Structure 1
Amino acid sequence: MRKIDKLLFGTSGIPLSVEGNTIDGIKGVKKLGLGATEMLFVHSINVSEQLAKEVRKTAEQNDVVLTCHGSYYINLNSQDKAKANASIKRILDSVRRTGECGGWSVVFHPAFYMGQSPEKVYETVKTHMTKISKTLRNENVNVWIRPETTGKATQFGTLKELCRLSQEVENVLPCIDFAHMHARTGKENTLTEFRAQLALVEKTLGKEALKNMHCHVAGINYGEKGEKNHLNLKDSDLNYHDLVKVWKEFKLQGVIISESPNIEGDALLLQKEFRR
């Protein structure tokens, strides 16, 4: 896997200030002074095999790291075998195309509990993730597979679950979405809690995981059932000042993707805060 020797900041999708396709987005990210961008394959894989070659070349020329958000239509715990298999295929297809683009990491929301015990769901997800990882390794696709911490209690994806999964399945690491973790419980928003999150990653996955972080950040609107919608950081209660402080303490390396509505605005805000 590619090593990233610092913490890069980037946009979820093409910056708002840029018109055009993924290639224009990469060039725009570079002009903004950012170091990463996340391709959004959330509804479909919108980069063709042919375009992927040009995307790879453009990213390399501009020294921009590419990540990807996979399909929204994934539930590795679906009781319908056809839907579970379709979820596996969507993950595989996203990771393959990201690899063709020269991308580093693919994130997705892994599963729903569907009224089952968390342990039973964990074993089901682990079985499918093991199959996905093995398939990609056999194809020599060197891209991190990142199930994401989720924003609702009905969704599989606590940080503990994902750290355990990462211990047990090759080429898997968590994508920590700090807004989701806050929205899920209404907590996870203090200096102490942020430290505990990263300490858990270090304890279970080692310092190497802290050097390979793929994280999402945004302001978040939430209620009793968890996540509602994203907000700009300054319009939310997300304690991003202390969050950035903890990133420095733990010497994070990797990629921070802004998912705020103002996309590049908060990516630049976080980058400035981190470099202060």
Structure 2
Amino acid sequence: MGRTRVGLPGVPDRDDPQRAVDELLRRGYDACEIDFEGSFWMDYPWAERFGEIARDADVALSIHAPLFGFMGHLEASGRKWSSAVGALDRSAGIAKACGAEVVVFHPGFLLGRSREDAIASVVEQLGTLRERLEGKDRAVPFGIEVMGRVRDLGSLDDVLEISQRTGWVRPVLDFAHMHATSDGAFLEPSLFGEALEAADAVLEPGAPFHIHFSDIAFANRNETKHLPYGDGTLRADPLREALDRFERPATVISESPDETSSQAIKAILASA
């Protein structure tokens, strides 16, 4: 089996990069996803220093881009399009500065289109974005996240298709979302293993699985909220068993609402 890292979905100290890494280590984490969902709170010098300290401490970094930073707009023009491209461009720049492994982003929306047309739009606009990033020497790996609403864009199949067609975008497996959209089916290692196998087939050699995990509440096959670990039905033990079958390393970001839950998940995943 490959190494499994576990980390937090946010930097625990926004004032000092050394304190941030020290706090991650104190809690026993060896990964961290930089939290830009709401805003860019980190500048480039901060990112460079954070990256240096994290590398020395063997803490793997990733970035979650702002939520409005998605591709697949109805038209590749206008304010929303420009804002999305700017957000992903800046996320890539900070990823380059701090040495983040991947920039996670959301796949966007159907917007009244067929699934096939929406995916084609996402892929086309990602190509435009890639050209821009290459011109700035920011062509870092991106990761497209499986979403938690059954009738919207972002199923596992959607994410795999986009990853296959771009070649530089990785699938990000959010097992809480997949548990919700499957009406709570992710109970046995076999389903976890099937999802990991599908992602393994499109990932380049050596790239880690990038995984989001937490317990989850859902209704009508749509996510409603992340839960403290144990309050719902999603468990980390079958994920650990499934990961044991792969040589590929993995980074698991706990999206639990409390530290006790993240520690419980980490303890299970680290017990292999």
TM-score normalized with structure 2 length:
0.89
CA distance in 2, matches of 1:251, 1:115: 41
**What do residues 64-91 of structure 1 show as CA deviations (whole Å, max 9, x unaligned)?**
1111111012342333532123212211
Moved more, 241-250 or 214-223: 241-250
Within 5 Å, which residues of 2 pair with 1:17-166? 20-79=15-74, 81-82=77-78, 83-141=80-138, 143-166=140-163
Give the structure 2 partner of residue 256 of structure 1: 252
Give the structure 2 partner of residue 240 of structure 1: 236
- Asked if the contact 1:133/1:170 (under 8 Å) is kept, the reply is no
**What do residues 174-201 of structure 1 show as CA deviations (whole Å, max 9, x unaligned)?**
1111101111231441322212212222
CA distance in 2, matches of 1:48, 1:188: 41
**1:194 maps onto 2:189 in alignment:** no
- Asked if the contact 2:17/2:49 (under 8 Å) is kept, the reply is no
Distance 1:136 1:124, change over 3 A: same
Q: SS of 1:230's equivalent?
A: strand
Q: SS of 2:263's equivalent?
A: helix
**What do residues 94-116 of structure 1 show as CA deviations (whole Å, max 9, x unaligned)?**
12112112211111112011121
Residue identity opposite 1:237 in structure 2 = T
Deviation at 1:220, TM superposition (A): 0.8
Unaligned runs of 5+ in 2: none
- Asked if the contact 1:149/1:181 (under 8 Å) is kept, the reply is yes
CA distance in 2, matches of 1:173, 1:236: 28
Deviation at 1:37, TM superposition (A): 0.7
- Asked if the contact 2:187/2:234 (under 8 Å) is kept, the reply is no
CA distance in 2, matches of 1:200, 1:100: 31
- Asked if the contact 2:66/2:105 (under 8 Å) is kept, the reply is yes
Deviation at 1:23, TM superposition (A): 4.2
Q: SS of 1:129's equivalent?
A: helix
TM-score normalized with structure 1 length:
0.88
Deviation at 1:142, TM superposition (A): 5.3
Distance 1:45 1:224, change over 3 A: same
Give the structure 2 partner of residue 180 of structure 1: 177
CA distance in 1, matches of 2:254, 2:229: 10
**What do residues 227-262 of structure 1 show as CA deviations (whole Å, max 9, x unaligned)?**
111112211211322122111122441311001011
Moved more, 164-173 or 80-89: 80-89
- Asked if the contact 2:183/2:221 (under 8 Å) is kept, the reply is no
**What do residues 128-147 of structure 1 show as CA deviations (whole Å, max 9, x unaligned)?**
11222233234333532011
CA distance in 1, matches of 2:74, 2:130: 21
Residue identity opposite 2:28 in structure 1 = G
Of 254, 265, 268, the residue aligned with 1:270 is 265
Deviation at 1:206, TM superposition (A): 5.7
- Asked if the contact 1:38/1:257 (under 8 Å) is kept, the reply is yes
Unaligned runs of 5+ in 1: none
Deviation at 1:28, TM superposition (A): 0.7
Deviation at 1:167, TM superposition (A): 1.7
- Asked if the contact 2:18/2:50 (under 8 Å) is kept, the reply is yes
- Asked if the contact 1:10/1:38 (under 8 Å) is kept, the reply is yes
